[in-house]
C-alpha cells in the first residue's frame, strides 16, 4: 500500500495512532479543498480513543474486546449477564406501583364475566400493547373489545366520545395501554358512566394522577420499579404475563408481539427492554402463528431468523402505516389472525398501504426539508404545513431531527386545533420541552425522545416563539453534549484483513442493538476499488466491489447523495459502515453497509497509519 503498513498485532487489534492525539478528525469542505480532486469524507469521523490494554473476554478476539471495554464491560460475568438477558433478567412486578391493584381488578372482571375493553394508541407500540392484552385475555376465556381512537376525530388518549360508546356496549372495565396517564378529565367521564379504568402507560405523568382504579406507570415518583424505560408494549407484557401466570397459563407468544413495540418505541437495549426483545426474537423465530409469519415473510430478509434491525426497518413501518394513513385495526387484525389464507390477504393489503405511506412521506419530507433549509442553526425548529397528513407528522419530525441533529416539531391543522409531533436528539428531552410550553397547549405528552401536543390556532404563534427559544441542552441541567449534524461516531478502526466471518459472528453475539447499545460502526482500511456503480430505480444507491489482496468484498451505500463523487477503479478507499450478512441470490456473504467513504490519502485514518519500520510482522 504505497509504502505504508497497518498495525494490527498490538494490544487491541486496531490500527494505532501515529503521533498526535486525534479523537476527532474532520473531513469537511476544508479537507476537500486541500485534497483537490481526491475524494474526502462527507461526514466528520469521530475516531475512538485508543484503549491500550483492553479487558479480555472469553470467545471474543482483541478488536471486539476493545469495543466491549469502551462500552464499559469489565469482566466475563458482567458481559454474560448482558448478552444472555432473558426471563431471568425481568424484574419483580410487585415493585411496580399499583401493579397488584390492576391485576386484582382485571381478575375480578374475568371472574364476573364483565365486558373488558383495551384502549390503546395508533402507533406500533400502542397497537402491539393492545394485541398483547387481547392474546392474554383470550387465553383466560375473555374476548375483550379493542379500541383505538380516531386519529382525526379523537386524537391521542382517552376521549369522552369513545368512552360513551363503550359504556353503551356494557363495558365495565377499560384497560389503557401506552396512554391514559394525562387523561384525568376523561377518567372522570368514565367514572360517571360506571366504567372503571386501569391505566398502563410509560409517558411522564402529571403532578396529579387520574383517579383511576390503578395507574401503572414506572415514571411515577412513588414507583420503586428499578427500570423505568419500559415501553407501552413492554409494560403490557409484564402485566399480562403476570396475569396469565396467576392462573398457570402459558405466556408463550406474548413476548414476540411485545418485542415489536419495544423496538418501535426506541427503548434502550441495555435493561429489561433488552431481555424482552431477546425473548421476543426467539419466539418470532419459531412461531407458527399465521399473522406473524405472513408479516415476517414480507418484511424480513430471513423470516426464520428475524433481528431487531428487521423489526425496525421492515415489520414496524408496515404496522405503523396502518395507523398513520389507514385504520389501525388492519394491523391488529393481522397480528391476531390464525388462519393462513386470511393472514396472507391482510398482509398483502397492509403492504399496499405501506407503499402508499412511503410515497406520501417522501413528498412531505422534501417540503419540510426546504422549510428547514431556510432556517439553519442548532436551535429547536418548528415546521408546519396544514396539507400534511396528521399520521405522518412524527415521521417528518423524526427524519429532520435525524438529519439535522436538532429538536424538530412538525405540525398541521386538524379540525379546530393544530397538532404536532416532537422528535429530539439525546441532549433535548422532548416531554420536558412540552411541559416548558404547557401554558400554550391544550394537550401534551411524551417521553425523552418523542412527544406530541395540540394547540389552539390563536395560540400557535406564542407556542412557536416559546419553543424555539428553548436552549440546548434541555433541560439546562442536563450534562448531555448537544449533537451536531454530519458526524459519525466510529467504534473500531480495522484493516480489511480482520473483516471476516469470525468478526461478524462476534458482533452478532452483541445483538440486539438499539439506543444505549448501538450497532458497532467500523472504519475499514486496506482495500482497493474493483468496481462501483449506482443502482436502484432512481440510482439512489451505490454498490462497491472492493479488493483486499486476492479476495473481494462487497459494500453498499443506501441513499447516496447524487452529488457524491464515486471512486475510480483501483482507488485506495477507506470505508465506514456496519457489517452485515447478505443472502441475496441465496448465497450468504458479508457486506458493509456504508455510511461514508474517502480515498485513503484524504482519510482521517491517515492518523492511524504507521510507517512500515514501526510495525510488527503482519503475516
Longest CA pairwise span in the chain (Å): 84
Q: Specify the pLDDT at position 521.
A: 98
Determine, yes or no, domain membership for 428: yes
**Closest Cα partner for 232 from 167, 285, 180, 170?**
180
The per-type count for the chain, helices as H runs and strands as E runs, is: 19, 21
Domains in the chain: how many in total?
A: 3
- How far, CA to CA in Å, does 129 sit from each of 125, 232, 474? 6, 6, 30
Sign of CA pseudo-dihedral 585, 588, 590, 594: positive
pLDDT of residue 476: 79
Q: Sign of dihedral through CA atoms 518, 402, 488, 317?
A: positive
The domain spanning residue 76 has which CATH number?
A: 2.40.50.460
Of 418, 436, 468, which residue is a domain's last? 468
Residue 584, pLDDT score: 67
pLDDT of residue 609: 62
Residue 63 belongs to a domain: yes
Note the Cα 598 to chain centre separation in Å.
Answer: 28
Contact 468, 498 (CB under 8 A): no
CA 274/CA 269 separation, integer angstroms: 5
- What is residue 29's predicted lDDT score, i.e. its pLDDT? 36
Q: Is residue 311 a part of any domain in this protein? A: no
Could you tell me if residue 351 is inside a domain?
A: no
Cell of 224: 420503586
- Residue 460: give its domain's CATH number: 3.10.310.30
* CB neighbour list of residue 179: distance below 8 Å, 6 or more residues apart: 119, 120, 121, 126, 156, 157, 158, 201, 203, 232, 445
Does residue 499 lie within any of the structural domains?
yes
Cα angle, residue 413 at apex, residues 316 and 325 outer, rounded to 5°: 30
Q: Is 171 helix (H, G, I), strand (E, B) or coil?
A: coil
Beta partners for residue 386, in sequence order: none
Whole-number pLDDT of residue 7: 29
- Please report whether residue 415 resides in a domain: yes
Number of alpha carbons in the 13 Å side-chain half-sphere of residue 301: 15
Contact status, residue 236 vs residue 132, Cβ threshold 8 Å: yes
DSSP 458: G
Residues 445, 311: Cα–Cα separation, whole Å: 25
For residue 34, the model assigns a pLDDT of 38
**Which residues, at least 6 apart from 133, have a Cβ–Cβ distance to it below 8 Å?**
118, 144, 175, 177, 236, 240
Residues 69 and 96 placed together within one structural domain of the fold = no
Do 161 and 99 share a domain, yes or no? yes
Q: How many CA atoms lie within 13 A of 315 on its CB side?
A: 36
CA dist 418 and 387 (Å) reads 12
Residues 142 and 48 in one domain: no
- The CA-atom distances, in angstroms, between 38 and each of 31, 289, 375, 544 are 10, 54, 32, 18
- Rounded Cα gap, residues 602 and 286, in angstroms: 48
CB atoms within 10 A of CB 372: 17
Residues 64 and 96 in one domain: no
Out of 276, 309, 340, a domain closes at 276
Are residues 63 and 94 located together in one domain of the fold? no
Residue where a domain terminates, one of 417, 437, 468: 468
Residue with cell 374475568: 110
Strand order in the sheet with 450-455: 381-384, 408-414, 417-423, 450-455, 443-446
Phi, psi torsion values for 123, nearest 5 degrees: -105, 175
What are the two backbone dihedrals, phi and then psi, of residue 99, each rounded to the nearest 5 degrees?
Answer: -65, -50
The one-character DSSP state at 19 is S
In whole angstroms, give the CA distance from residue 16 to residue 52. 9
pLDDT of amino acid 315 = 97
Are residue 58 and residue 109 in the same domain, yes or no?
no
DSSP string for residues in 256-312: HHHHHHHHHTT--TTSHHHHHHHHHHHHHHH---HHHHHHHHHH-SSTTS--HHHII
Are residues 66 and 153 located together in one domain of the fold?
A: no
pLDDT of residue 304: 93
- Domain that residue 602 falls in: 4-83+490-614
**Terminal Cα distance for the chain, rounded:** 15
- Kindly state whether residues 157 and 27 are assigned to the same domain: no
Cell representation of residue 533: 456503480
440/562 same-domain check: no
**286 lies in a domain?**
no
Euclidean distance between CA atoms 535 and 173, whole angstroms: 55
Q: What CATH number is attached to the domain comprising 200?
A: 3.90.1640.30
Alpha carbon 245 to chain centroid, angstroms: 30
Cα-based distances in Å from 464 to 296, 387, 411, 428, 582 = 42, 19, 11, 17, 46
- 448/591 same-domain check: no
Q: Tell me the mean pLDDT per 10 residues along the chain, length 619.
A: 32 42 35 60 93 91 95 96 94 96 98 97 94 98 94 85 97 96 96 98 93 97 95 98 96 98 94 97 97 97 92 96 94 98 98 96 96 95 96 95 95 95 93 94 88 95 96 81 86 94 96 94 96 91 93 93 94 96 77 96 81 38
Same domain, 103 and 202: yes
Task: Check residue 208 and give its pLDDT.
Answer: 94
Pair (517, 431) in one structural domain:
no
Q: Residue 149: inside a domain, yes or no?
A: yes
DSSP SS3 for 7: coil
Torsion angle of the four alpha carbons 325, 399, 516, 86, in this order, in degrees rounded to the nearest 10:
20
Amino acid at each position: 500500500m504505497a509504502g505504508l503498513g497497518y498495525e494490527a498485532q498490538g494490544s487491541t487489534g486496531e490500527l494505532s495512532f501515529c503521533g498526535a492525539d486525534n479523537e476527532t478528525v474532520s473531513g469537511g469542505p476544508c479537507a476537500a479543498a486541500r485534497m483537490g480532486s481526491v475524494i474526502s469524507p462527507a461526514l466528520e469521523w469521530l475516531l475512538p480513543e485508543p484503549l491500550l490494554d483492553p479487558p479480555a473476554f472469553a470467545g471474543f478476539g482483541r478488536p471486539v474486546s476493545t469495543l466491549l471495554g469502551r462500552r464499559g464491560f469489565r469482566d466475563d460475568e458482567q458481559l454474560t449477564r448482558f448478552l444472555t438477558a432473558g426471563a431471568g433478567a425481568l424484574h419483580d412486578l410487585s415493585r411496580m406501583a399499583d401493579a397488584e391493584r390492576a391485576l386484582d381488578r382485571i381478575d375480578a372482571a374475568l371472574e364476573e364475566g364483565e365486558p373488558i375493553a383495551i384502549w390503546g394508541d395508533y402507533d406500533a407500540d400502542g397497537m402491539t400493547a393492545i394485541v398483547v392484552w387481547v392474546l392474554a385475555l383470550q387465553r383466560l376465556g375473555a374476548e375483550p373489545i379493542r379500541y383505538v381512537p380516531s386519529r382525526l376525530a379523537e386524537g391521542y388518549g382517552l376521549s369522552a366520545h369513545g368512552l360513551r360508546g363503550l359504556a353503551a356496549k356494557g363495558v365495565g372495565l377499560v384497560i389503557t395501554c401506552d396512554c391514559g396517564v394525562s387523561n384525568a378529565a376523561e377518567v372522570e367521564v368514565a367514572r360517571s358512566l360506571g366504567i372503571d379504568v386501569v391505566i398502563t402507560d410509560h409517558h411522564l405523568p402529571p403532578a396529579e394522577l387520574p383517579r383511576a382504579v390503578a395507574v401503572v406507570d414506572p415514571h411515577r415518583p412513588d414507583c420503586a420499579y428499578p427500570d423505568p424505560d419500559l415501553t407501552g408494549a413492554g409494560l403490557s407484557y409484564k402485566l399480562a404475563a403476570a396475569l396469565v401466570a396467576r392462573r398457570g397459563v402459558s405466556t408463550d407468544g406474548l413476548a414476540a408481539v411485545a418485542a415489536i413495540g419495544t423496538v418501535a418505541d426506541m427503548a434502550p437495549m441495555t435493561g429489561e427492554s433488552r431481555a424482552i426483545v431477546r425473548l421476543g426474537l426467539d419466539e418470532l423465530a419459531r412461531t407458527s402463528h399465521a399473522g406473524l409469519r405472513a408479516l415476517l415473510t414480507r418484511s424480513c430478509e430471513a423470516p426464520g431468523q428475524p433481528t431487531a434491525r428487521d423489526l425496525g426497518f421492515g415489520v414496524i413501518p408496515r404496522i405503523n402505516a396502518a395507523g398513520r394513513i389507514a385504520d389501525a385495526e388492519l394491523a391488529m387484525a393481522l397480528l391476531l389472525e390464525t388462519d393462513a389464507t386470511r393472514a396472507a390477504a391482510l398482509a398483502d393489503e397492509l403492504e399496499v398501504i405501506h407503499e402508499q405511506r412511503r410515497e406520501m412521506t417522501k413528498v412531505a419530507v422534501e417540503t419540510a426539508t426546504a422549510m428547514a433549509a431556510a432556517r439553519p442553526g442548532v436551535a429547536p425548529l418548528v415546521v408546519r404545513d396544514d396539507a400534511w397528513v396528521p399520521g405522518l407528522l412524527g415521521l417528518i419530525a423524526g427524519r429532520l431531527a435525524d438529519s439535522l441533529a436538532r429538536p424538530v416539531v412538525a405540525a398541521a391543522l386538524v379540525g379546530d386545533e393544530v397538532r404536532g409531533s416532537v422528535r429530539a436528539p439525546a441532549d433535548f428531552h422532548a416531554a420536558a420541552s412540552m411541559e416548558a410550553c404547557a401554558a400554550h397547549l391544550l394537550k401534551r405528552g411524551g417521553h425523552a425522545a418523542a412527544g406530541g401536543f395540540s394547540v389552539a390556532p390563536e395560540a400557535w404563534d406564542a407556542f412557536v416563539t416559546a419553543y424555539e427559544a428553548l436552549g440546548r441542552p434541555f433541560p439546562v441541567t442536563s450534562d448531555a453534549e448537544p449533537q451536531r449534524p454530519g458526524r459519525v461516531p466510529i467504534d473500531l478502526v480495522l484493516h480489511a484483513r480482520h473483516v471476516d466471518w469470525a468478526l461478524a459472528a462476534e458482533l452478532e453475539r452483541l445483538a440486539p442493538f438499539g439506543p444505549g447499545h448501538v450497532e458497532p460502526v467500523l472504519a475499514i482500511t486496506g482495500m482497493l476499488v474493483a468496481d462501483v456503480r449506482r443502482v436502484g430505480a432512481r440510482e439512489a444507491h451505490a454498490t462497491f466491489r472492493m479488493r483486499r489482496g486476492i479476495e473481494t468484498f462487497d459494500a453498499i451505500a443506501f441513499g447516496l447523495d447524487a452529488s457524491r463523487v464515486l471512486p475510480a477503479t483501483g482507488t485506495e478507499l477507506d470505508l465506514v459502515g456496519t457489517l452485515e450478512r447478505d443472502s441475496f441470490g441465496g448465497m450468504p456473504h458479508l457486506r458493509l453497509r456504508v455510511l461514508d467513504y474517502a480515498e485513503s490519502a484524504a482519510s482521517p485514518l491517515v492518523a492511524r497509519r504507521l510507517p512500515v519500520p514501526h510495525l510488527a510482522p503482519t503475516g
